[in-house]
Amino acid sequence: MKLIYNGQDIQVDGGLSLQQILVSHGATPPFAVALNGQFVPAGLLPETKPESGDSIEVLSPIQGG
């Protein structure tokens, strides 16, 4: 199925958890995740399964003013 991962279209197998998708796309800590604009706490990543067309944001620390 198609997902949007940090603004890029990706294809993944159906039924994968957010945790599995993050691992397969090389996400490296520290990061936090949002699914369709809603924050997903780290503890819920293994049990959260995106659906086709969902948007995943994986954010990490950066400079800020």
Partner 1 sequence: MQDITQDKLTIYGEHFDSRLLIGSALYPSPQIMQDAINSSGADIVTVSLRRQNSVAAGEDFWQLIKDTGLRVLPNTAGCHSVKEVVTLAQMCREVFQTDWIKLELIGDEYNLQPDPIGLLDATDILLKDGFKVLPYCTDDLVLCQRLADLGCEVLMPWGAPIGTGKGLINPYNLKTIRERLPEHTLIVDAGLGIPSHACQALELGYDAVLLNSAVAGAGDPVAMASAFAHAVTAGRLSYKAQAMPEKDVAAPSTPTMGMPFWHQN
- What is the binding site for partner 1 (CB under 8 A)? 6-8, 27-34, 37-39, 41-42, 57-65
Minimum distance from residue 62 beta carbon to partner 1 (Å):
4
Minimum distance from residue 51 beta carbon to partner 1 (Å):
19
The closest of 56, 11, 14, 63 to 35, measured between CA atoms, is 56
Q: Quick check: 35 and 56 in contact, CB under 8 A?
A: yes
Minimum distance from residue 25 beta carbon to partner 1 (Å):
9
* The residue count for the chain: 65
Largest CA distance in the chain: 40
Closer to partner 1 by CB, 16 or 44: give it: 44
